[in-house]
Structure 1
């Protein structure tokens, strides 16, 4: 029985194929010089809209390497607010390295494929809103061992790049946690299954010239088929800045495709196992709390050191990575609390896995997810310890925000959840 006067938590879902035309430059590897020549599997935008009372939250998952730039995100936010009544927005990329190049800014204006994708996302969100219905929720946990920490600290304190690990040598830190959120209609039909895990989708490397969602695409298809294609399945990328799949970068392409499928199937099996055992229920508290704010950070490098670092990476790096050297970076943070039971926080870039672990430990509610590659892109967010040791993503021009930024974001999100729970006042 529901309490009198308590609004139902409603949900609606939709998806659209946003695969761009072939011939575009591909994102993710400076070594890849040629444009896309085909499609291994389509790229999707998947939309979940949650509504409680007068508040609507849209969570959009993109099979792309990163989210859109600030101009495109502002355009999307405005369109969703006007057309779909969306109050709060999270746009999160799965981080496939087999998608099109996305830049923060374009000298010639937004490319046609991106504009089309934005329009498709608005249409999908409109469909999700029109399909809003009361839902039952359940959360379950599992473990999947498909990846390793790719920065290995040697006995002498040096750090080496540990790209692939076919022997599955134990490394640390790694977070094998698989979190599954299941949403059912009131009559028990599965509407959406959200799977959260932290692992770089880089089984396919620079030899691949075809669009692909990499292993998350395999997982999503597998889970959906296991539930008679009734729910839409979402892959939510976690804090994977220093986590590679075991079988990363092992050409030729035919071998990489087999290993992509192995990785996606291992994760998919665990998601199916957990989702099948989740007991959904009508949550007594259905409130949606959300804060959207901007934190300001200084650049990590002096201008001369920055220019030298960029030059060392070459023109291709600058083309697809699109780094920015600014006096101050305005980094967005979105913190969500649903039913005082489920907390989400975003980091707009590539956070190291320790942040996911610390957020889970610090957050005052049991179920808490860190979403990487969400609502923007500011490169890598290494921990202070990782920055001290160095290595790819921990130092160099891929990590251009000041050291300690990730810790501040996690701390700020933790404060916001305590405030939404009523346990802290912003200004007593």
Structure 2
């Protein structure tokens, strides 16, 4: 499916509000920067303790640490306030937890929260952070937990401290690099057709059904993209992004950065002087299911395929002098889901009387999102303009079609789409997925139908699409 390029209208750009009023700054396109820029890097361990919930209480809690979870980021420093981009090896960061990450890192960097792009990598043997949901669970007396607020605060403070320390080692930046490579044998869309032609959405991260695995990949973005920062001919940092759910096997309590974390670590070992980051693209409906049966040994196979694409993408890098870096953010308002099971009354009843702990956790996360919506707090959709390249952060589990749309909106630029920003939305599906009753939207989607039109319009404004 291909999303149409939206017409920029008052309604499509911001659901009836003035999206352009949310633009913070416009960039200078092309040319060499007249401002000296520098880059700081930072990394901190954010591994959850044994016993901490994984995936918001939906699977086994942490029983062993297979490999550490990391938060890794860069700070771009110039004439305007700094811009922070950080990837976190957590499943999701939602609502006031997301706000806490942005405010703490903004304070450490000397900037404002809107200029802090926090992206979860979305491994499942990792935490979901939603502090309001945890408060609701505690107040209701539910024997269930989404996250540990005390650990969460320690983790945020640790990352902010690493950022602050990293500022002291900032290096000049003169060039931005762009590279890409096709990834073979990793991504496939959840959607495939049954023998009678009806759609199924059952191709999960680990798929053992042979028929489902034999079907075509479906709609994916096959390219891994790399943006790098350089001091002359000396590389400083590389940011890699690819759209796939980053799970090989999970659910038994083995905390891990999974195959993308292994690929990132292997790439870091290649050249310790070049800081490596991995960020997940828009992959709400993209998994490794066609190529993964969930066997533990397949984690290394998938890691090797991502690693090889990182190397090829790096080798294809072209450098351009960095232009005047621009930043803008457009507010996004997505209406809360309000059908059966998602009304305030239904969610409150499920919080108190749900048959499983995870039912109560899901209700608490739904109520947390509803509370945000009732307060009129929009989601920021930020765009970092590096001149020849654009970086845009999407909310939640946005479907891959939105990433492909972003590239079509700006064919003149190298567009890197990041998913799993403000994750309170859960899945952000296309209209077709809603119409076809995508079964993945059952519990982990908190936005009402119509999200495609609104998000597409906001995206068009944020990327300054023409025509």
Same fold (TM over 0.5): yes
Structure 1 residues 407 and 342: CA distance shift in structure 2, 3 A: farther
Separation of aligned partners in 2, 1:343 and 1:337:
6
Counterpart position of 2:45: 17
Q: What SS does the aligned partner of 1:324 have?
A: helix
The corresponding residue for 1:324 is 366
Q: Which has the higher contact order (CA 8 A, sep 6+)?
A: 2
C-alpha contact (below 8 Å) 1:52/1:288 kept by paired residues:
no
Tell whether the 8 Å contact from 1:184 to 1:191 is kept in structure 2 after alignment.
yes
**Is the counterpart of residue 220 in structure 1 residue 258 in structure 2?**
no
CA distance 1:322–1:265, change in 2 (3 Å):
farther
SS at match of 1:234: strand
User: Within 5 Å, which residues of 2 pair with 1:156-235?
Assistant: 156-163=197-204, 164=207, 169-186=215-232, 188-206=233-251, 208-226=252-270, 228-235=271-278
> 1 CA distance for matches of 2:172 and 2:238?
16
1-side partners of 2:380 and 2:421: how far apart? 9
Secondary structure of the residue aligned to 1:280 is: strand
Greater mean deviation of Cα atoms: 341-350 or 315-324: 315-324
- Measured in 1, the distance between the counterparts of 2:190 and 2:116 equals 32
Correspondence for 2:144: none
Q: In the alignment, is the contact (CA less than 8 A) between 2:130 and 2:365 conserved in 1?
A: no
Taking the aligned partners of 1:91 and 1:52, their CA distance within structure 2 comes to 20
SS at 1:361 equivalent: helix
Query: C-alpha separation between the residues in 2 aligned to 1:86 and 1:182?
Result: 22
**Residue 120 of structure 1: aligned partner:** 158
Structure 2 Cα separation of the partners of residues 305 and 5 of structure 1: 51
Structure 1: give runs of 5+ residues left out of the alignment. none
C-alpha distance in structure 2 between counterparts of 1:46 and 1:195, whole Å? 12
The structure in which a higher percent of residues are helix is 2
Q: Deviations over 1:299-344 (max 9, x none)?
A: 2524577849979994324426853153846441322132333222
The aligned residue for residue 22 of structure 2 is: none
C-alpha displacement of 1:244:
1.0
Name the SS for the 2:152 alignment partner. Answer: helix
Partner of 1:80: 105
- The answer on 1:129 being equivalent to 2:167 is yes
Distance 1:35 1:98, change over 3 A: same
SS at 1:54 equivalent: coil
d(CA) in 1 for partners of 2:201 and 2:386? 44
Instruction: Give the paired residue count.
Output: 408
Superposition deviation, residue 374 in structure 1: 0.6
Are residues 1:151 and 2:196 paired? no
The equivalent of 1:358 in structure 2 is: 405
Q: CA deviation at 1:387?
A: 0.8
Is the contact made by 1:168 and 1:246 (CA closer than 8 Å) also made in structure 2? Answer: no
1:103 equivalent in alignment to 2:149: no
Contact 1:333 1:345 in 2 (8 A): no
2: distance between equivalents of 1:368 and 1:131?
28
- Residue 103 of structure 1 contacts residue 320 of structure 1 at CA under 8 Å; is this kept in 2? no
Supply the distance in 2 between the matched residues of 1:404 and 1:384 (Cα, whole angstroms). Answer: 7
Instruction: Tell me the secondary structure at the aligned position of residue 357 of structure 1.
Output: helix
Deviation at 1:215, TM superposition (A): 1.1
Task: For 2:214 and 2:362, locate their aligned partners in 1 and report how far apart those are by CA, in whole Å.
Answer: 31
- The 3 A distance-change label for structure 1 pair 322 and 94 is farther
Q: 1:156 to 1:13 in 2, by over 3 A?
A: same
Distance in 2, Cα, partners of 1:263 & 1:134: 35
Q: Is the 8 A contact 2:117 2:382 kept in 1?
A: no
Q: CA deviation at 1:9?
A: 2.8
Distance in 2 of aligned mates of 1:239 and 1:110? 27
Pair 1:280-2:319 in alignment: yes
Partner of 2:17: none
Q: Distance in 2 between matches of 1:324 and 1:361?
A: 33
What residue is the counterpart of 2:454 in the other structure?
Answer: 408
Q: Is the 8 A contact 1:349 1:372 kept in 2?
A: yes
Change (3 A) 1:160 1:312: farther
Higher mean C-alpha deviation, range 168-177 or range 135-144: 168-177
Question: Alpha carbon RMSD of aligned pairs, Å?
Answer: 3.0
2:276, 2:463 → 1: CA distance?
A: 27
C-alpha distance after superposition, 1:205-232 (max 9, x if no partner): 22x3121011111110121122x22222
TM-score, normalised relative to structure 1: 0.86
Q: What is the aligned counterpart of 1:385 among 425, 432, 435?
A: 432
Unmatched tracts of structure 2, length 5 or more: 1-29, 139-146
